[in-house]
């Protein structure tokens, strides 16, 4: 079974997808890490940002692997370097490149053929796995996502301004949604889960319910609609903040 989790930056996709996969005993795929790994390699090798063909050729030569929650690029553990702000600042040269996307989507589909998996990104339910059995669109208000990002940066010893973080995030949202290939859009058959004022455990529990129901219910259209209605109304008990790593 393939479970796709798409949504904007700061919605909690990685944290939630990892926990969900662990609970279900599924593999977990962080597709953002693949775009990050290509970007890191291109920057290290000095491939010019405007050389779209060069970026695509390089992407095809790289070996990107996931091992015990670590990301390996040609055998080197790059889990931390791919999160550097210099990589984030250049990631659009990989993410907006149709040939890079085509190659990475193929790799994602190959990984998906190996069995049960939770995969997270922007285009997993729309482009990579349009026939996935369970699709989630994880979201939260822009302000809440920016608050989480500020807390995350503060925990790393930075002193970010909320307004700046919000502005950068809106720019990233726009870029993700307006991308010509593989834009961030909610698949028509994805269930939207708004994580505003939900604790991590609550979100995971909700998603487990959705996955289990999708797997066992043998859903017809009315059952699916019902499930969708049930899934989108957030609970207000025990509300805690969602912390991102
Ligand atoms: O989820 P993240 O922040 O690690 O993703 C890094 C970038 O990669 C982000 O700017 C959007 C892009 N991305 C994408 O275009 N398609 C995906 N499936 C995953 C990430």
**Cα 34 to averaged position of ligand 1 atoms, centre (Å):** 8
Distance CA 105, CA 181 (A): 11
Q: Is the pLDDT of residue 239 over 50?
A: no
Q: Count the neighbouring beta carbons within 10 Å of the beta carbon of residue 211.
A: 20
**Cα 129 to averaged position of ligand 1 atoms, centre (Å):** 16
The predicted structure's pLDDT at residue 234? 37
9 lines ligand 1 (CB under 6 A): yes
Which tens digits make up the pLDDT trace of 140-193? 999 999 998 898 888 878 888 999 999 989 988 999 999 999 899 999 999 999
Which tens digits make up the pLDDT trace of 107-148? 999 999 999 999 999 999 999 999 999 999 999 999 999 998
Q: Is the pLDDT of residue 245 over 80?
A: no
Structure token digits, residue 16: 């939630």
Q: Whose CA is nearest to atom 6 of ligand 1?
A: 32
The predicted structure's pLDDT at residue 36? 97
pTM of the predicted model as reported, rounded to 2 decimal places: 0.86
**Cα 85 to averaged position of ligand 1 atoms, centre (Å):** 14
Ligand 1: which of 15, 16, 18, 32 to mutate, judged by most atoms within 8 Å of the beta carbon? 32
Mean pLDDT over 43-64 rounds to 97
Q: What is the β-pairing status of strands 76-77 and 191-194?
A: unpaired
Beta carbons of 151 and 15 less than 8 angstroms apart: no
32 lines ligand 1 (CB under 6 A): yes
Q: What is the mean pLDDT of the chain?
A: 88
User: What DSSP assignment string belongs to 78-127?
Assistant: -TTGGGSHHHHHHTHHHHT-HHHHHHHHHHHHHHHTTS-EEEEESSIIII
**Cα 133 to averaged position of ligand 1 atoms, centre (Å):** 22
The predicted structure's pLDDT at residue 225? 55
């Amino acid at each position: 079974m393939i479970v796709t989790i798409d949504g904007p930056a700061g919605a909690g996709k990685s944290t939630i997808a990892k926990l969900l996969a662990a609970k279900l005993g599924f593999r977990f795929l962080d597709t953002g890490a693949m775009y990050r790994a290509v970007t890191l390699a291109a920057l290290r090798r000095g491939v010019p940002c405007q050389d779209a063909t060069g970026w695509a050729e390089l992407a095809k030569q790289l070996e990107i692997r996931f091992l015990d929650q670590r990301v390996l690029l040609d055998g080197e553990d790059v889990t931390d370097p791919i999160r550097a702000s210099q990589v984030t600042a250049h990631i659009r040269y990989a993410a907006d490149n149709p040939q890079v996307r085509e190659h990475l989507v193929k790799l994602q589909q190959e990984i998906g053929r190996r069995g049960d998996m939770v995969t997270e990104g922007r285009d997993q339910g729309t482009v990579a796995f349009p026939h996935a059995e369970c699709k989630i669109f994880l979201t939260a208000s822009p302000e809440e996502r920016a608050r989480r990002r500020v807390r995350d940066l503060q925990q790393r010893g930075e002193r970010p301004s909320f307004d700046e973080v919000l502005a950068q995030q809106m720019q990233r949202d726009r870029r993700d949604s307006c991308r010509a290939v593989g834009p961030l859009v909610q698949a028509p058959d994805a269930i939207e889960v708004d994580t505003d004022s939900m604790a991590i455990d609550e979100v995971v529990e909700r998603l487990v319910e959705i996955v289990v129901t999708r797997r066992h219910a043998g859903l017809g259209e009315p059952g699916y609609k019902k499930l969708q209605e049930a899934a989108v109304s957030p609970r207000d008990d025990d509300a805690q903040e969602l912390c991102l790593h």
